């Protein structure tokens, strides 16, 4: 039986059986985009869970790796890596039976929806969403990016989604690309991570607040820097040029916070940050490493800065969501739409990482200018963030039109990988 036929047959059978099963709670399933280790993925997943609970879901589970339990927001982790990475139709059927009682499913499409990373795994995740839509349940792809060269497999799976499945693009550029490739309506939203609540009460955030206070008292301003390990691998002299950028900023009166984003490789963002910091040993009292432990804490730390230089989009989103402008080394064509949404000048604040060596002096001049104009850019962010947060809420079908005010952080449940919900069977 073909995979899509299996989905349709399972949906019909379970739909007929649904009235026989008693439901005690309203439950949602959030499908992770990848394994744990990305600050941005964590930000989107946490924000999705907390938003769904505020919107009336009694319990929210995550479909993915057990490691996601560490953040303490999901009521249950449904392990699915055996299907995601090496699954066949039988593995899909077993998984569908385990998740049959959930009322809605949300896939964090992020930057993986187009199959840039591991197309078979993304196609398998989309088939789960297909199953929910085929039952008439809510099935939503949360705000995602889309490149000009998507995977043919992912395009085929996306095109096969029932019409009631909702596809959201997180920027205007991606929306145009999705509609062109998929030939179906796509909703323009903003990245889910704009709903991430900063946690200034964390030990990490309080420690950095005290340090930043001392550095400001000494006359410094604060710049946060992220250097991406992806760019380090692909771009000659990428890390070496970041040492030079850091030295220039230090000479111009900045203390520096290095903010890694990804920890999933041996040569991760953490390793790159440590190498850059080793080249700045003479200014050790003016530089700090911010461990990427929790996006809520990291957002609070980024909010202490005056300016950000980053090679990772979600460092930019967390920082700009806290009102701090960012200069970005963009890739995959996914940064342009973000800056358009926020009303920030693309020409002034965005560059191709491949140009960091051949156009170094021009790029350095742009970073210095951005730092000098940080208050102007921050005012632009302040004017546009209420609208962007409303667009982020629209991922979940929330009404738009007025400013969205961040509420207090949702209660953190004591989740565990083997925890249980009252309704869905496992």
309-356 pLDDT per residue, tens: 999 999 999 999 999 999 999 876 678 889 999 999 999 999 999 999
Q: What is the spatial distance between Cα 129 and Cα 138, in angstroms, rounded to a whole number?
A: 9
Q: What is the spatial distance between Cα 161 and Cα 166, in angstroms, rounded to a whole number?
A: 9
- Kindly report the CA angle at 316 between 387 and 394, in degrees rounded to 5? 30
Token pair of 100, please? Answer: 């049959």
| pLDDT band, very low/low/confident/very high, at 21 (cuts 50, 70, 90) | low
The yes-or-no verdict on residue 416 having pLDDT over 50 is no
pLDDT of residue 423: 34
**Percent of the chain that is helix, strand, coil (3-state, to 5):** 50, 15, 35
Domain locations along the chain: 8-188, 203-384
149-187 pLDDT per residue, tens: 999 999 999 999 999 999 999 999 899 999 999 999 999
Instruction: Judge if 8-188 and 203-384 fold alike in CATH terms.
Output: yes
Q: Tell me the CA distances in angstroms from 301 to 80, 208, 222, 321, 394, one per residue in order.
A: 33, 6, 11, 12, 27
Q: Which fold has domain 8-188?
A: Rossmann fold (3.40.50)
Q: Is 223 exposed, middle or buried (0-12, 13-18, 19+ CB in 10 A)?
A: buried
| pLDDT band, very low/low/confident/very high, at 407 (cuts 50, 70, 90) | very low
The yes-or-no verdict on residue 402 having pLDDT over 60 is no
- Return the closest-CA partner of residue 209 out of 353, 129, 93, 322: 322
Q: What is the spatial distance between Cα 246 and Cα 1, in angstroms, rounded to a whole number?
A: 58
Question: Span 203-384: which CATH code?
Answer: 3.40.50.2000
The yes-or-no verdict on residue 11 having pLDDT over 70 is no
């Amino acid at each position: 039986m073909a995979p899509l036929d299996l989905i349709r047959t399972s949906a019909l059978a379970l739909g007929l059986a649904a009235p026989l099963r008693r439901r005690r709670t309203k439950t949602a399933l959030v499908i992770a985009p990848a394994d744990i280790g990305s600050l941005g993925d964590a930000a989107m997943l946490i924000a999705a869970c907390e938003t769904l609970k505020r919107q009336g879901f009694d319990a929210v589970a995550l479909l993915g790796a057990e490691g996601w339990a560490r953040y303490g927001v999901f009521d249950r982790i449904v392990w699915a890596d055996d299907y995601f990475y090496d699954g066949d139709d039988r593995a899909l059927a077993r998984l569908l039976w385990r998740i049959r009682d959930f009322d809605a499913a949300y896939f964090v499409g992020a930057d993986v929806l187009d199959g840039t990373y591991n197309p078979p795994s993304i196609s398998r995740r989309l088939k789960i969403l297909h199953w929910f839509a085929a039952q008439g349940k809510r099935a939503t792809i949360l705000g995602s990016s889309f490149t000009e060269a998507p995977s043919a497999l992912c395009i085929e799976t996306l095109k096969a989604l029932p019409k009631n499945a909702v596809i959201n693009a997180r920027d205007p550029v991606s929306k145009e690309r999705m509609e062109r490739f998929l030939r179906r309506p796509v909703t323009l939203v903003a990245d889910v991570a704009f709903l991430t609540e900063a946690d200034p009460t964390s030990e990490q955030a309080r420690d950095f607040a005290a340090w930043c206070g001392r550095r400001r008292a000494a006359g410094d301003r604060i710049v946060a820097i992220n250097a991406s390990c992806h760019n380090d691998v692909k771009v000659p002299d990428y890390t070496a040029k970041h040492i030079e950028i850091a030295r220039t900023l230090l000479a111009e009166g900045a203390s520096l916070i290095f903010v890694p984003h990804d920890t999933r490789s041996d040569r991760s963002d953490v390793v790159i940050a440590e190498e850059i910091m080793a080249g700045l040993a003479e200014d050790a009292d003016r530089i700090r490493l911010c461990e990427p432990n929790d996006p809520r804490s990291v957002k609070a730390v980024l909010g202490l800065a005056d300016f950000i230089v980053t090679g990772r989009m979600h460092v930019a989103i967390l920082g700009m969501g806290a009102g701090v402008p960012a200069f970005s080394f963009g890739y995959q064509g996914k940064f342009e739409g973000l800056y358009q949404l926020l009303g920030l000048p693309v020409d002034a604040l965005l560059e191709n990482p491949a140009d960091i060596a051949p156009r170094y002096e021009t790029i350095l001049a742009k970073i210095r200018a951005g730092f000098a104009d940080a208050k102007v850019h921050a005012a632009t962010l302040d004017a546009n963030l209420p609208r962007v947060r409303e667009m982020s809420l629209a991922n979940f079908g929330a009404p738009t039109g007025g400013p969205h005010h961040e509420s207090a952080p949702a209660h953190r449940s004591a989740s565990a990988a083997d925890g249980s919900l009252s309704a869905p069977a496992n």
